[in-house]
Amino acid sequence: MTKTILIVEDDLTFSTMLKTWLTKKGFQIETASSIATARKRISESDFDLILSDLRLPDDDGFNLLCWKKEMNIDTPLIIMTSYADIQNAVQAMKEGACDYISKPVQPELLLTKINESIKSGSARTAKAVPSAEPAPQPKKMTETPAPSSDYLEGNSEAARQLYSYVSLVAPTPMSVLINGASGTGKEYVAHRIHQLSRRSDGPFIAIDCGSIPKELAASEFFGHVKGSFTGALADKTGAFLEANGGTIFLDEVGNLSYEVQVQLLRALQERRIRPVGSTKEIEVDVRVVSATNENLEQAIAKGNFREDLYHRLNEFTIQMPTLAQRRDDILLFANFFLQKANRELNRNIMGFDADAAEALMEYSWPGNLRQLNNAVKRATLLAQGDRISIHDFLFQIEGAGCAPKSQPVSMQLHSEEEEKHRIAEALRQTRFNKSKAATLLGIDRKTLYNKLKLYGIE
């Protein structure tokens, strides 16, 4: 059955173009150029979806959402908004919009959002009207699970390229190695690969390889039986068995000891595991997605990482772009993190002033998305007005002049020769506060702990 969409847009050229394109995609389209006309159309006809601009001549999309709620109309509504109004679009979602898309509109992204919104609207209707004999519907492999609402994928060219690779490799059985600096979102990409794979109904198990002592690694990966070693007071199910039928994510795989790499390689080659202390082998069916911020090829050359394991894990490589390489996404993420901070801190900050926005765009962000998230959260807490100013940021923004001259500039780790000195200096400047030192170095705390252990720094 043909799905009907109401487009509420006062830009007649854009509205006509959108109507023509969506009609070719098989939808039946009606248009309205004002909120008043939209109300009339919605009252007279049933639509599967409303696609509305946020700003209209007689009112705005918030008013349409409120009216729709008052009239108990549950037709899904997608907000279209300019780049500068992203924070208002996120607010609109809190008021009942099912999704939003920024202008200029990316046609394929819009089509995906339309299909997902109509599908979710149909699911709500079916749930509200129970049938006499509800029949379970098998999941179609062509369906696309929605991304997590706790993460934003971005609109930059680098982001589009990244997620095109994710969409390409996800349905395959290939092992994926995600390379990228700390804070770039490697675990989200791993989870997204799982969501888009044929294993999406199975478990997704993540392991932080850098935090596992080599003495316990075999137990963590493969499990153990009671009494197999001191402290084994009960049977334990390992991560591989927990992930059976799904995906196992090996985060910071470059930190595994050489002995553990041998055990892992055997499990991947034979697709069988043996819990510690057991004589029985168990078949497992897992897909492996790994991530690292280390250069594994250099580690292989130094004899620290097995080349055969590297090739087993690296059937397909995804390189995570840094935030500096996604400059077009910086304000998009900043506004997204602001709305998240508003919820967590019970604040109502509306956005960033012009100077703060410009400084955000110009800063290099060595700590990537994690650093931006933390910076916006702190600024949200400190802001005195309804918008964040440049003086609300506690970190040094290069060229902005908002921080005292004595405040240290973030020091990103480069060569191994410099790392020891930089880490020691960061610890000295922060009086050995490891969290602050990690922020200063532009890395996360977990990576700092791994570096401290690697270099024997107490």
**pLDDT above 50 (res 400):** no
Does one domain contain both 315 and 339?
Answer: no
Does one domain contain both 102 and 171?
Answer: no
Q: What is the pLDDT of residue 59?
A: 79
Q: What is the number of structural domains in the chain?
A: 4
Does one domain contain both 186 and 305?
Answer: yes
Q: What is the pLDDT of residues 345-381, one digit of tens each?
A: 999 988 888 888 888 988 889 999 999 999 999 899 8
Does one domain contain both 227 and 357?
Answer: no
Could you tell me if residue 335 is inside a domain?
yes
Give the tokens for residue 203. Answer: 């478990």
- The secondary structure of residue 72, as a DSSP letter, is T
Q: Which range is most confident: 98-102, 159-163, 273-277?
A: 159-163
Tell me the CATH number at 433: 1.10.10
* Residue-range definition of the domain harbouring residue 380: 323-392
More confident residue, 126 or 27: 27
Per-residue pLDDT, averaged over 27-47, amounts to 90
Q: What is the pLDDT of residue 89?
A: 62
Tell me the CATH number at 346: 1.10.8.60
- Cα(323)–Cα(316) distance, rounded to whole angstroms? 22
Quote the pTM value. Answer: 0.57
- Cα(83)–Cα(2) distance, rounded to whole angstroms? 31
- The secondary structure of residue 241, as a DSSP letter, is H
Of the chain, the percentage scoring pLDDT greater than 70 comes to 83
Could you tell me if residue 366 is inside a domain?
yes
Does one domain contain both 277 and 261?
Answer: yes
Could you tell me if residue 149 is inside a domain?
no
More confident residue, 17 or 294: 294
Distance set, CA 301 to CA 251, 292, 447 (Å): 21, 17, 22
Per-residue pLDDT, averaged over 148-163, amounts to 80
More confident residue, 274 or 91: 274
Per-residue pLDDT, averaged over 67-87, amounts to 77
**pLDDT above 50 (res 244):** yes
**pLDDT above 50 (res 454):** yes
**pLDDT above 90 (res 226):** no
Could you tell me if residue 141 is inside a domain?
no
DSSP SS3 for 352: strand
- Cα(109)–Cα(55) distance, rounded to whole angstroms? 21
What share of residues in the chain are helix, strand, coil (percent, to 5)? 50, 15, 40
Does one domain contain both 8 and 109?
Answer: yes
Give the tokens for residue 438. Answer: 């990690």
The pLDDT confidence band at residue 84, using thresholds 50, 70 and 90, is very low
- Cα(149)–Cα(161) distance, rounded to whole angstroms? 21
Does one domain contain both 245 and 165?
Answer: yes
Could you tell me if residue 404 is inside a domain?
no
- Residue ending a domain, among 319, 346, 376, is 319
Does one domain contain both 305 and 245?
Answer: yes
- Cα(46)–Cα(73) distance, rounded to whole angstroms? 10
The pLDDT confidence band at residue 87, using thresholds 50, 70 and 90, is low
Tell me the CATH number at 210: 3.40.50.300
Residue with tokens 């199910």: 237
Q: What is the pLDDT of residues 162-212, one digit of tens each?
A: 999 999 999 999 999 999 999 999 999 999 999 999 999 999 999 988 778
Could you tell me if residue 75 is inside a domain?
yes
- Residue ending a domain, among 319, 340, 357, is 319
